[in-house]
Amino acid sequence: MALVHKLLRGTYILRKFSKPASALYPFLGIRFAEYSSSLQKPLASPGKASSQREGDLQGDHQKEVALDITSPEEKPDVSFDKAIRDEAMYHFRHLKDEIVEGRPLHDVLLEQAKVVWQFRGKEDLDKWTVTSDKTIGGRSEVFLKMGKNNQSALLYGTLSCEAPQDGESTRSGYCAMISRIPRSAFERKMSYDWSQFNTLYLRVHGDGRPWMVNIKEDIDFFQRRNQMYSYFMFTRGGPYWQEVKIPFSKFFFSNRGRIRDVQHELPLDKISSIGFTLADKVDGPFFLEIDFIGVFTDPAHTEEFAYENSPELNPRLVK
């Protein structure tokens, strides 16, 4: 029993260091219970966890992990003060990097294309999360892993339209891959500014299924959390890669999956996340390989917004 306890304490230390999202928990206090309730979770892979840290910190807790696993009898060094101090140091260092580092102004102003997400290693997958209708009781499955040669991400799984037997759901069948919201030092929410670009650029290899590309705006209002801007991405299947270019003017506005009557263009200066949804009502396996996701400026594209507001639906807007 004592050994299990030690193991758990060892895990605790690992979690404490390996989870950057929990950095502010000691300060918040309220979330502290959740923080310590993650003790029972299995060990996160130490390589993945520590690869995000740099400097002397990494060496330290790498050593600690090894120590815990090999000889649990040895008393690990548990200190709340040290943990808090280290986390604070980590965040202050990031803050300093944010302030000091930068790019020359002409670089930023004259930028024509930018790769926002690319898949070249395991740490790129940590920026993404996948979900399927298992969360509502469905049977779809979706997985995300690195493709061959570590050159792309492979999103694969099985779609199943069988509705969950909960008495109220009548339809089901979706799989999605959503990017995480970028965080800066002290876990502040960040957003992307794409206001100088006008086209989304994806290099994908699909199996012929249509996907929906959803872009979420960075918003602070709880009531608007289900609003997003969407358009479709059609893959052609076969062995060929394809380069999909979607102008931002094509994205339509929806709330809780329903297209709104009042349409407006996507605000490009505060982009929070991007997602891909598959829900084409066809049961069976699917896959989508993504090489990179970028944005670029297409000077030939001058359309501002593709959808006019209907005078029949909202007569007050159109006069």
Partner 1 sequence: MSWVQATLLARGLCRAWGGSCGAALTGTSISQLPCQLPRGLHCSAAAYSSEQSLVPSPPEPRQRPTKALVPFEDLFGQAPSGERDKASFLQAVQKFGEHSVRKRGHVDFIYLALRKMREYGVERDLAVYNQLLNIFPKEVFRPRSIIQRIFVHYPRQQECGIAVLEQMENHGVMPNKETEFLLIEIFGRKSYPMLKLVRLKLWFPRFMNINPFPVPRDLPQDPVELAMFGLRHMEPDLSARVTIYQVPLPKDSTGAADPPQPHIVGKSVGMGAATSLTWPRPCQVPAGPRLGSLGLCAKSLAGHRACMSPHQESRVPISRLPWPATVQPGLGGVRRASWQNTEDPGVEEGPVFAMCMAGAHDQATLAKWIQGLQETNPTLAQIPLQTSSAGLEEPPLPEDHQEEDDNLQRQQQGQS
- Per CB under 8 A, residues contacting partner 1 are 147-149, 151-152, 154, 156, 205, 207-210, 232, 234-241, 259, 261, 280, 282-287, 289, 291, 307, 310, 312-313
Tokens 């007050």 sit at which residue?
Answer: 316
Smallest gap from residue 194 Cβ to partner 1 (A): 22
Return the number of the residue (80 or 240) whose C-beta is nearest partner 1. 240
Return the number of the residue (73 or 312) whose C-beta is nearest partner 1. 312
Nearest to 68 by CA among 8, 1, 2: 8
Smallest gap from residue 215 Cβ to partner 1 (A): 17
Cα(263)–Cα(253) distance, rounded to whole angstroms? 6
Residue 111 makes CB contacts below 8 A (sequence gap 6+) with 196
Return the number of the residue (60 or 298) whose C-beta is nearest partner 1. 298
Return the number of the residue (83 or 154) whose C-beta is nearest partner 1. 154
Find the helix or strand (DSSP H, E) in which 7 lies.
helix 2-18
Smallest gap from residue 193 Cβ to partner 1 (A): 28
Q: Is 55 helix (H, G, I), strand (E, B) or coil?
A: helix
As a whole number of Å, the CA-based R_g of the chain is: 23
Smallest gap from residue 166 Cβ to partner 1 (A): 18
Return the number of the residue (158 or 227) whose C-beta is nearest partner 1. 158
Cα(260)–Cα(254) distance, rounded to whole angstroms? 5
Tokens 């670009």 sit at which residue?
Answer: 197
Return the number of the residue (31 or 236) whose C-beta is nearest partner 1. 236
Which residues make beta-bridge pairs with 159? 284
Residue 188 makes CB contacts below 8 A (sequence gap 6+) with none
Smallest gap from residue 241 Cβ to partner 1 (A): 6
Smallest gap from residue 266 Cβ to partner 1 (A): 16
Q: Could you report how far apart the first and last alpha carbons of the chain are, in Å?
A: 76
Smallest gap from residue 272 Cβ to partner 1 (A): 25
Cα(11)–Cα(215) distance, rounded to whole angstroms? 37
Nearest to 86 by CA among 4, 19, 159, 165: 19
Tokens 């799989």 sit at which residue?
Answer: 175
Smallest gap from residue 275 Cβ to partner 1 (A): 19
Cα(79)–Cα(273) distance, rounded to whole angstroms? 37
Tokens 């959390």 sit at which residue?
Answer: 225
Q: Provide the token pair at 242.
A: 């394809």
Q: Are 271 and 218 in contact (CB under 8 A)?
A: yes
Return the number of the residue (32 or 143) whose C-beta is nearest partner 1. 143
Return the number of the residue (39 or 282) whose C-beta is nearest partner 1. 282
